[in-house]
Amino acid sequence: MPKKEIPHHLPKQTFQFIGACILLIGAWLLVLMWLTVFTEEVLAPWDARDIAPPPTTTWQATLDDFFGARPGVWLPSMFVLAACVTTFLWQIRKVGWRSIVPLRLAVSALIYAILLIAIAIATLRLPDLWLGGPPWQTAIGYHRTWLAGITLTVLTTAWLWRQATWQFANDSST
């Protein structure tokens, strides 16, 4: 019985898929890095600066302590990463191992990262306009970060929902 020859080369689509997956992982790392930065800025504002924290018996101090160190500072990022990986696996299951899936998710993640940075910076600075008083560096508190927290939560939720509901050309499960 003759043996089947195993080809010693991989199809071009395999390299495209691997390259797209590498780009996707890089985009996810970028998103995780910025989400972690903004988690500390929004949920642990006293830890992000060298300013005396609130009294230790308050809810603000407890929240600041939790989100100012591991594992709290990583918690939102890990939730988003789990949702991204789940979305990737779901889309691959629906449409197969096509390079368009990780490529589209990577581009989406890069666009999200740009929006995340721009919106976070804008919403973290807005309270200075309407609250007045001392500058951001001396008047720390959740009264200055709630808008950024809500806005970033809505942006992240919309991004994750959009990724999960994408339909690809060969998707027959519609």
3-state secondary structure 114-166: HHHHHHHHHHHHHHHHHHCCCCCCCCCCHHHCHHHHHHHHHHHHHHHHHHHCC
**For all residues of the chain together, what is the average pLDDT?**
79
Asked which of 6-20, 85-99, 132-146 is least confident by mean pLDDT, the reply is 132-146
Looking at per-residue pLDDT, the higher value among 59 and 31 belongs to 31
pLDDT at 50: 67
**Mean pLDDT within 90-107:** 83
45, 145 contact by CB (below 8 A): yes
pLDDT at 173: 42
Question: What is the per-residue pLDDT across 32-70, written as a single tens digit (0 to 9) for each?
Answer: 989 888 888 877 776 666 677 777 788 877 777 777 778
Q: Maximum distance among all alpha carbons in the chain? A: 87
pLDDT at 131: 63
**Mean pLDDT within 80-97:** 87
**Mean pLDDT within 79-104:** 86
Look at the block and give the residue holding tokens 């449409």.
95
Euclidean distance between CA atoms 117 and 140, whole angstroms: 20
- Please tell me whether the overall predicted TM-score, pTM, comes out greater than 0.75 for this model: no
The fraction of the chain above a pLDDT of 70, given in percent, is 79
Domain ranges of the chain: 17-48+55-164
17, 96 contact by CB (below 8 A): no
Look at the block and give the residue holding tokens 């797209």.
20
Q: How far apart are the first and last CA of the chain?
A: 45
pLDDT at 26: 93
